[in-house]
Amino acid sequence: MKTLSLCMITKNEEKNISRCLNSVKDIVDEIIIVDTGSTDNTIEIAKSYGANIYHYDWTNDFSDARNKSLEKATKDWILVLDADEELPYEEGLKLKNVINTSQMEGLFLRLENIIGDRNLGDAVVLRAFKNNSNYRFRGKMHEQIIFSIEEINGPNKIQPTNVKIIHYGYDPDVCDMEEKKKRNLSILESYPEENRDGYFYYSLGNEYSRIQDYYKALEVYNKAIEYTKHNYVDTMPSYLSYLVINLSKTYASLKRYKEAIDILKNFQEKYPKFRDLYFLESVYELECGRITKAKEALLKYLNCDYSYYIFPDNNYEESYNMGILLKQLRKSSVVCEDNLLSVLFLDNHYDDTLIQSIVSVNEIASEVLVCLPFSSILNNTIIENYGARIINTQSTNGNDILLQGIKNCKGKYILVMKSREYLSKDTLAPLAKFLQSTNENYFNVIILSNKDNTKVAEFRILRNNDTIKNIKTIDELSKELNKQNIQTYDICINKI
């Protein structure tokens, strides 16, 4: 039978340490505690569990402290825990069984993050490994031992398991999160340039994200991506899956949904069993009003095999009722033929309601175009990240803008909309059904004012046929329309 050492570093953990040590006292064969300066009852509590206590002068280097604990371990394998964690007895038995049968050098365990009574998802962590003097932690902050194990043995000597550690460390009731953020950022920013690798930039990005400096977080996350591309050609470093998730979430925090979705899709191709990628895609597509795409991504998430233990799992089922969510998406999704409708926004007076307007049409639009004068101060990046394509115009003349916009449309039909206009959800399916069944070329629709409930018929829909494609001037367009007996249909565009 293989023996097991528990190695921990502590400081003022009297609120947590009893829970931790009580959970493993019948599993481990020795307890090693390296204390970095406790002034409470941490040491006395640890001694009551038979722990071997070693004192350490803190130097702002977590790896150095961790490695001091490894030096004192005498058993075959080492388990690393923090005081705000526990290893339930049944999970400990599973761990012992794996240790006794494994031919690997290290084990990935799953870290279940708990706040209150909610499970916020699982992370994959390397917390059990053979006692080898060459295996040592690296990094002053967010220290890792995986790099030394992989350098000696390659990436295939670490085994994924379903052994679960429970982590309470993000619960504000049991830790001072503000102090943690300040401490972490201070330590990371002290790193010399030569020690800044992909994992460093990933860790630094996390700290900037926690203080909601999203632009700085993006900057360093993308440095981590570039470092990883150049230094991990055929392998996936342990931090990469978390980096992808966090980078995507940061883009989304800045409303840059196209970039958020692009990074997810890129990694879906490489790691199709990483289920969290599909759920986040569904959330972002829903934010953009693309209901059918959100539904398709959610189905991929629900049908993905999540017994594959190398990826984190944020356990979104704890926060969302998947049955109700899927039912709502199915109810709201609209079946459209490919390339059915181009939506063209025309106006010189756009405001922040433009995003609402774009989102309102995205479900049935094969493309959304926004004609903007070069002088516009609107944020083009945000507009494009909600799925619209910007057509910049030199002219501010409405007729010129209309003609230029039409020339850029590729859909079978073109719907012209103006600022502060949107389609209600109830309008989407009837409009799509109508356009897929009619043979007419031009249509009036109802413009419904939300302010005074007035209704006005206006020409807004035209078939993008050869006649329209060949029109060169606004006068030609006017003559073409004057020849038509344009009917008004009971389709409403709402005006704010």
Q: Which range among 21-25, 297-301, 372-376, 450-454 shows the weakest confidence by mean pLDDT?
A: 372-376
What percent of the chain has pLDDT above 70?
96
Grade residue 169 by pLDDT with cuts at 50, 70 and 90: low
CA distance 82 to 91: 16
Q: What does the pLDDT average to over 255-280?
A: 93
Query: Domain 177-332's class?
Result: mainly alpha
For a pLDDT cut of 90, what percent of the chain falls above it? 67
| Fold agreement (4-167, 341-495) | yes
Question: What per-residue confidence (pLDDT) applies to 375?
Answer: 63
Domain map (residue ranges) of the chain = 4-167, 177-332, 341-495
**Residue labelled with tokens 């307890």:** 31
- Nearest CA to 363 out of 383, 389, 343 is that of 343
CATH 3.90.550.10 given to domain 4-167: yes
Do residues 366 and 337 touch, judged by C-beta distance below 8 A?
no
Q: What is the pLDDT of residue 400?
A: 83
Q: What is the DSSP letter of 85?
A: E
Q: How far apart are CA 140 and CA 143, in angstroms?
A: 6
Instruction: Kindly give the residue spans of alpha helices, DSSP state H, lying in 107-176.
Output: 146-153
Average pLDDT over all residues of the chain: 90
Q: CA 296, CA 293: separation in Å to the nearest integer?
A: 5
Which residues, in sequence order, are CB contacts of 7 under 8 Å at separation 6+?
32, 34, 66, 69, 70, 72, 73, 78, 79, 80
With cut-offs at 50, 70 and 90, classify the pLDDT of residue 121: confident
Q: Is the pLDDT of residue 203 over 80?
A: yes
Q: By the 8 A CB rule, do 263 and 251 touch?
A: yes
Quick one: how far is CA 181 from the chain centroid?
A: 21
Q: Is the pLDDT of residue 221 over 60?
A: yes
Residue (of 169, 141, 211, 150) closest to 83 by Cα position: 169
pLDDT at 116 over 90: no
224 pLDDT above the threshold of 60: yes
pLDDT range class, residue 318, cuts 50, 70, 90:
confident
Q: Residue 290 in contact with residue 360, Cβ under 8 Å?
A: no
Residues 236 and 261: their CA atoms lie apart, in Å, by: 20
The closest alpha carbon to 300, from 274, 327, 266, 333, belongs to 274
pTM of the complete model:
0.80
Angle between helices 198-210 and 214-231 (to 10 degrees): 160
**Fold (topology level) of 341-495:** Spore Coat Polysaccharide Biosynthesis Protein SpsA; Chain A (3.90.550)
- Check residue 177 and give its pLDDT: 61
Residue 154: other Cβ atoms inside 10 A: 11
pLDDT tops 90 at residue 261:
yes
Quick: pLDDT tens for 343-383.
999 876 677 789 999 999 999 999 999 988 766 667 788 88
Sign of the alpha-carbon dihedral angle for 428, 434, 435, 441? negative
**pLDDT level of residue 81 (50, 70, 90 thresholds):** very high
E runs forming strands in 378-485: 388-393, 413-417, 421-422, 442-449, 455-463
What pLDDT is stored for residue 308 in this prediction?
57
Q: Is the per-residue pLDDT at 233 higher than 90?
A: no
